[in-house]
Structure 1
Amino acid sequence: MRMKACVSQRDELLSTLKRVFGYDSFRPLQEEIITESLDGRDTFALLPTGGGKSLCFQLPALVRDGLTVVVSPLIALMKDQVDALQTAGVAATFLNSTLGEKESRKRLAALFNDEYRLLYVAPERLMVPSFLEKLRQWKVALIAIDEAHCISEWGHDFRPEYRQISDLRTHFPGVPFMALTATATERVRDDIVRQLHMRDPAIFVASFNRPNLAYRVVPKDGAYSQVVEFVRERRKESGIIYCLSRKATEGLAERLVADGIRARPYHAGLTDTERAENQESFLRDETKVMCATIAFGMGINKPNVRFVIHHDLPKNIEGYYQETGRAGRDGLPGDCMLLFSAADVAKLTGFIDDMGDEQQRRIAREQLSQMVHYGESAGCRRSELLMYFGERYPNANCGGCDNCLSPRETFDGTVSAQKFLSTVWRARDAGWKKDMSFGLMHHVEVLTGANTERIRKWGHDKLSTYGIGKEHTRPHWGAIGRELLRLGLLRVAPGEFQTIELTEDGLTFLKERRTLQLTRPMKTAAAKPEKRTGDIACDEALFEVLRTLRREVADGLGVPAYIVFGDNTLRHMARTYPQNEREMSRIPGVGAKKLDDFGAKFMDAIVKFLRENPRQVFADSLEPAAAPPRAMKPNAPNPNSLNDTAHMSWRMFDAGKDIAAIAKERSLSEGTIGGHLAIAIETGLAVDITRIVTAAELDRIRPLLAAHGTASMRPIFDELGGKLDYGRIRIACAILQRGHR
């Protein structure tokens, strides 16, 4: 199936992207994924949460004939995305168990009349024979499997009903598939491709890095007080607190409400109605904090979640990554705090020991060990997360985690290590049964002189190391023991139980009396970054006015506030003060239908605000659309305002490579590379423009820029007769707007 328009595919995509969604350019890999899918090829896309996965199937649905079927595991997520699409003017619907019979029949009739471009459906309904028969009559153009990791038993969120989807290929052999996920190891990715019988798929794996998220791990010490303090610092913001048990979510929510914080619980033990009501309240910003179980998750699409707290230790890094990823989906800053304690480690270890299957126990122990390593590591948190997924973080300091902002202190741990290793060595051959190994916390209790039945039973109160470690607390000794495990001086002994023993390196350390540096326990707080990635400075007073108006508009429509406009869009409005349709259309996230439906109300609010507050704090950031670009004093270069992928393109260009070579090496389009260099120019970085555009070309573009602005490059492209590609046009506009020649 080909696209309907006679203009080029890329022009149509960019035009539709701006008209419907209000954006001028694609996020990394979106354009490449969409292009391959439109060419009829199976595609696999791994994009981080907030990376724009949904657009990869939504935009193609608008530029070609036929129906795009989206398989989604979560009912609430279906409604959420369909509401957002309908508000943007897209004909989309969903079919699930929440609909009454009359409404279901109405939507089915519309599907038979080709009235929808997108259909969201759950996997269990999709594979019902009678539904498959209907689907064959609906001219299916693409089948998109969202949250595709659910099909793999190696994934952290395996759902058996997803396995049924593997039969889809036999029913629709000629229809391209698109599998999308935000979190999957290489093993899971391979399994997804195999389970879906994907044929020579185009595979796209974006960086797992979420630069706008800040990570911190805090020793759990008075957990409720820690949570309340954290939340009160962000009183106007929305957040999620993950707990290990249903009881904990309810107890925490009750205490928060008693302290004046609007909170609700969310877990599998609630009725469907209760869960729906609580989630809807959260989506509408009536509830500010949702206390949810780790096991059940949330499955929400709320882009303005500003913080995620893990009240209890997650079972594995994949789950932790996905849960923290619910913060900052709109690209604005988000904070992630994990409360870490040895008691949580012991609790999860107990759960694992109760598992019936040895293979499951082995996998769960390995996953927990990786999670504990992350929690206790003195290294960069971001680097640790990326390393788990097979990605290397290029910088020594990320500037956005507790360990990079407040590096952990080291100390001479030689004596402490000797005491711990000696205790492990001596306990192995003490008592009435030789060659025994014991758990880490047993050795901690021996060191601190605990009087337990188990210590007396094995005669460990008679060891020379019994009670010689009272200079440290038990949690500190536990941290030392786990660091010795990470350093390879100890290892987990083979067998069913989590016991430890010396390695050859550990024995050598004792015999040769080597020295050793260890890290001190985590501090309770870390310094805050001076500048946050993703932050958009704006007139905060106007932002609050616009946020109040957005809430009123959303309540009138019966939809969550962010479906009207996201925080990102409001902050751009509060930075540039748009007062007419042309200026408003330049704001990211303001498409044609939203401009028609909401533009006047928001412009009126801005005009009223400016009458009452005539000083425009950020007025110098807005270039009038109809005026020629004036000379601008170059700002100091700020490479930190570039995202990672744009900065890489600039570095390669600065090193002497041309746009075509960079595009080929990075497997991106030349237009995308041009866009990266334009952003570099806008942020003040030095770019040798003589290698890109000529003085004559700049002179030709200058009046076109004054006439058309930068809301869309299409008019300039057309008037130039297609002689310059979009990337070079954008670079030229960036040069002219900064006053360069």
Structure 2
Amino acid sequence: MPLTKEQVLKQYYGYDKFRPLQADIVDWVLYGQDAMVLMPTGGGKSVCFQIPALMMQGLTLVISPLIALMHDQVQALKANGIPSAYLNSSLDGQQQSAIERQVRAGELKLLYISPEKLFTQGYLDWIKTLNISLFAIDESHCVSTWGHDFRPEYTKLHVLKEAFPNVPMIALTATADRVTRKDILSQLGIPEARTFISSFDRPNLSLSVLPGRNRIKIIQNFVAERPRQSGIIYCLSRKNTETIAEALQKAGIKAKYYHAGMPSADRAKVQDAFIRDDVQVIVATIAFGMGIDKSNVRWVIHYSMPSNVESFYQEIGRAGRDGVKSDTLLFYTYQDVMVRKDMIATSELPEDMKEVQNAKLDRMKQYAEAEICRRRILLSYFNEEVTKDCGNCDVCKNPPMRFDATLYAQKALSAVARTNEKVAMSMLIDILRGSNNKKIIDHRYHEIKTFGAGKDLKADEWADYLQQMLNSGVMDIAYDEGHAYRLNNASWAILKEGRKVQLVRYKPFEERQAERETIVPKEKTKKEIIKDALFERLRELRKRLADDKNIPPFVIFSDATLSDMSQQKPISQAEMLNVSGVGQQKYQQYGEIFIREIREFLKTIPKSSSSAGIDSVQYTYQLYQEGNTVEEMAKMRGLSPVTIFSHLSKLYEEGKNIDFSPFINKQQYDEIVRAAKAMGVKKGESVKALYEAMDSKHDYSVIRIALTIWFKDGMQFIGD
């Protein structure tokens, strides 16, 4: 029988259940339909096309823009036992021919290919001869001029749908607002495709913004507080990457810089060292990161402000791809804004695109200056409505005072509605403040009911409140239509249902910056300390194995999987297969090695630590499986033999294979159970009364063993 999608997920990926939307997307693609998938980085986009690829007849062709990313993804697929390969300019003729033979022989399920390679002369004709079951367009935002990483070669991809009209296509991206999404579908020739939008929320990422003063010193302290954690620092200039890397090196931190001015061989060497955990920190321009499928990046710092929210969101998304808690930090100065504006002004973009880029830069500036939950700002940018603050950003951790701004919001939203949603910020402020300028008069806006309704606020105050409203999802903006404000469901709820709006009282940004303080991390509990100690030991084992196999450590197990191991402490095959991310293939390769390491670690934990997260009974079971006697276990653990016997009894009740024959014979068992039945002894009662009734003939441990067997198995009296 063919495997179900749930069985495929467990066997190849080691997960028991799908994340939200994944199962629906898999079913939709298996039904042969086109789809667009928006999921945050680390949200599980790859599963949405890889599982259909494994279940469908034929080959899935994955269009990917970056060579390094293809290499890492194919390496990870092979580690999971999934036949796959890639074709791009990094391969020589012999390697390419070998892969083409595998494709023709039907030996591969997934083939990754760059768009440049796809459109090499005659190559598309070769693709047409293959049994293609699915097209997956990864990083599909690259097809849109409205996106943040436009690639001209991506605009040709519509020919795939023209050549294979009956083959489903799935476009995937982590960052695309409403305008970009519409353009992607149009460019790919699938305008009617169903769009699946997962939550853009990455709750495992903390979000912080700090003033741009003393950046290098703050970075040194930040990294020093996170020993052995991988991180990326993004800079705008090549010079800054080199300066910061040197400063970190002087502080004893393994750091390297990376930028486009380096020889390609040097860049590849640095990237490889980072992937293999030989280098802790990479200080880079934005040229670094998109092509790296490294799941255990624990933090991202922006030394300089990005040019738009999409880029920022994608770059911070390189932290915590495995779902483990990770940190992000943005340094902000107004000088960064001016540098970005100058870059846009001197670019060769057409004027309408410059206008769009400036508007997106303004949204990034609003994020940096915001006094409302930063996660709400990011999610509302991607048109996701959020009703609660996240509690995991610097604003939430140091909340400012808010006031009831419902009346102000109603005035602004009413003005947007009465102007038929055609005005941008500047015009809206003029309307609210009752400015009789020529544009107001020409559009007859001075005649609407809300003209002058906000005279009591200064222009700067209105600008601040409108930005807060936009950032919190109270209204939307249409960049492709003159940046006009748009009303949404939240807007109408405020206007018609009186939904309350809380805003932060206006205060100049410089004043707010001076008040902000760095968050002090809370102290770890004993349980967390022990879990972290095991995690580090497993991480070191993973690194040794990875070096031996010449692969990145995260290909063996992700940090999330090691964290789950550290929590569960599996010491058997069944327990190890219950760890998230451990499938059959991974267990066969590494399961027993990690079980042995966990057992060795447990031996080092003193008795007093059992309450801090070490399961004392399971530890006894581990020692029992290793062949230790009761006396040996008691001595090793610093416990009495009676306690060890109680552990063995509990394990027997749980179904573990415990052999009690060395400790009790048939005659003893018969006498004890007969007496217990006569006295009406019930499970869980003290054995003291039974011990005394039998004139202390049998030890407490022997009595406990007899009752354990009797209560669990319901055995007849021996000898009856």
Match of 2:265 in 1: 273
Query: Could you tell which deviates more after superposition, 340-349 or 139-148?
Result: 340-349
Alignment of 1:345 with 2:337, yes or no, is yes
Match of 1:639 in 2: none
Which whole-Å CA distance do the structure 2 matches of 1:487 and 1:16 have between them?
50
Q: Which amino acid aligns with 2:34?
A: D
Per-residue displacement from partner, 1:40-74 (whole Å, max 9, x unpaired)?
11111101111000111111111221111111001
Aligned to 2:640: none
Q: What is residue 486 of structure 1 aligned with on the other side?
A: 464
Aligned equivalents of 1:228 and 1:360: distance in 2?
Answer: 38
Q: Which residue of 2 aligns with 1:107?
A: 99
Shift of the 539–622 alpha-carbon distance from structure 1 to 2, 3 Å rule, reads farther
Among candidates 512, 531, 538, match of residue 521 of structure 1: 512
Which residue matches 2:709?
none
Q: Which amino acid aligns with 2:111?
A: L
Match of 2:535 in 1: 543
Compute the displacement of 1:529 (Å): 7.2
Deviation per CA, 1:235-285, whole angstroms, max 9, x where unpaired? 210111010112221222222222211111222222322221111111111
The one-letter amino acid paired with 1:521 is R
> What's the CA shift string for 1:395-448, capped at 9, x where partnerless?
1x321111111124699xxxxxxxxxxxxxxxxxxxxxxx9xxxxxxxxxxxxx
From 197, 217, 220, the counterpart of 1:205: 197
Pair 1:555 & 2:547 matched = yes
1:646 is aligned to: none
Which residue in the other structure is 1:386 paired with? 379
Match of 2:119 among 114, 127, 139: 127
Q: 1:529 and 1:706 mapped to 2: Cα distance?
A: 42
- CA shift, 1:481, in A, is 9.3
Q: How far is 1:202 from its partner? A: 2.3
C-alpha distance in structure 2 between counterparts of 1:599 and 1:182, whole Å: 33
Distance change in 2, residues 1:67/1:614 (3 Å): farther
Shift of 1:483: 5.9
Q: Does 1:242 align with 2:231?
A: no
Determine helix, strand or coil for the equivalent of 2:196: strand
Query: 1: CA distance between counterparts of 2:289 and 2:342?
Result: 22
Gaps spanning 5+ residues in structure 2: where? 404-436, 438-457, 468-504, 622-653, 657-720
Q: 1:226 to 1:134 in 2, by over 3 A?
A: same
Q: Does 1:578 align with 2:578?
A: no
Cα 1:90–1:172 shift into 2, 3 Å: same
Amino acid at match of 1:367: K
Q: What code does the residue aligned with 2:581 have?
A: G
- What SS does the corresponding residue of 1:45 show, helix, strand or coil? strand
Which runs of 5 or more structure 1 residues have no equivalent in the other structure? Answer: 412-434, 436-479, 490-515, 627-704, 708-741
Structure 2 partner of 1:219: 211
Say whether 1:136 aligns with 2:125: no
CA distance in 1 between counterparts of 2:38 and 2:290 reads 20
Counterpart contact for 2:35–2:194, Cα < 8 Å? yes
Q: Secondary structure at the match of 1:134?
A: helix
Alpha-carbon distance change, 348 to 577 in structure 1, aligned in 2, over 3 angstroms: same
1:112–1:137 CA contact under 8 A, matched in 2: no
2:512 is paired with a residue whose SS is coil
- Give the TM-score, by structure 2 length: 0.69
Contact 1:68 1:119 in 2 (8 A): yes
> What are the equivalent positions in structure 2 for 1:35-74 lying under 5 Å apart?
35-74=27-66
Identify if the C-alpha distance between structure 1 residues 531 and 361 changes in structure 2 by more than 3 Å, giving closer, same or farther: farther
Which residue of the other structure, out of 169, 175, 183, is the alignment partner of 2:161?
Answer: 169
Question: What is the one-letter code of the residue matched to 1:364?
Answer: Q
Aligned-partner Cα distance in 2 for 1:33–1:622 = 43
1:217-366 to structure 2, matched below 5 A, reads 217-294=209-286, 297-356=289-348, 357-366=350-359
- Secondary structure at the residue paired with 2:82? coil
**One-letter amino acid matched to 1:246:** R
Partner of 1:144, secondary structure, is: strand
Letter in 1 for 2:548: G
Can you list the C-alpha shifts for 1:541-586, whole angstroms capped at 9, x where unaligned? Answer: 2111111100001111111101000111111111222111111111
Count of residues in correspondence between the two structures: 527
Equivalent position of 1:150 in the other structure: 142
Q: RMSD over aligned Cα, in angstroms?
A: 2.9
Q: 1:485 to 1:297 in 2, by over 3 A?
A: farther
Shift of 1:105: 1.4
Distance 1:597 1:286 in 2: 23
The answer to whether the 8 A contact 2:464-2:506 is kept is no
| CA-CA distance at 1:323 after TM superposition | 0.7
Flag the 1:202–1:485 CA change in 2: closer, same or farther, 3 A.
Answer: closer
Residue 527 (structure 1) shift: 3.2
CA contact (8 A) 1:538 1:571 kept: no
Alignment of 1:330-729 (within 5 A): 330-356=322-348, 357-395=350-388, 397-408=389-400, 485-487=463-465, 517-518=506-507, 520-522=511-513, 523-527=515-519, 539-613=531-605, 615=607, 616=610, 617-620=612-615
Does the 8 Å CA contact 2:134/2:168 hold for their aligned counterparts? Answer: yes
CA distance in 2, matches of 1:106, 1:571: 39
For residue 184 of structure 1, give the secondary structure of its aligned residue in structure 2. coil
SS at 1:539's partner residue? helix
Identity of aligned residues (%): 42
Asked if the contact 1:538–1:572 (Cα under 8 Å) also holds between the matched residues in 2, the reply is no
CA contact (8 A) 1:400 1:529 kept: no
Conservation of the 8 A alpha-carbon contact between 2:230 and 2:280: yes
- Is 1:185 the equivalent of 2:174? no
CA displacement at 1:524 relative to structure 2: 4.5
CA deviation profile, 1:185-233 (whole Å, cap 9, x unmatched): 0111111111111163221001111111111110111111111111111
SS of equivalent residue, structure 2 residue 507: strand
Distance 2:606 2:56 in 1: 48
**Secondary structure at the residue paired with 2:91?**
coil
- C-alpha distance in 1, partners of 2:300/2:366? 20
Farther off after superposition, 233-242 or 358-367: 358-367
Report the Cα distance in structure 2 between the residues aligned to 1:195 and 1:344, rounded to whole angstroms: 33
Structure 2 letter corresponding to 1:151: V
Q: Which amino acid in structure 1 is aligned with residue 167 of structure 2?
A: V
CA contact (8 A) 1:237 1:288 kept: yes
Is contact 1:292-1:298 (8 Å) kept? no
Asked if the contact 1:213/1:327 (under 8 Å) is kept, the reply is yes
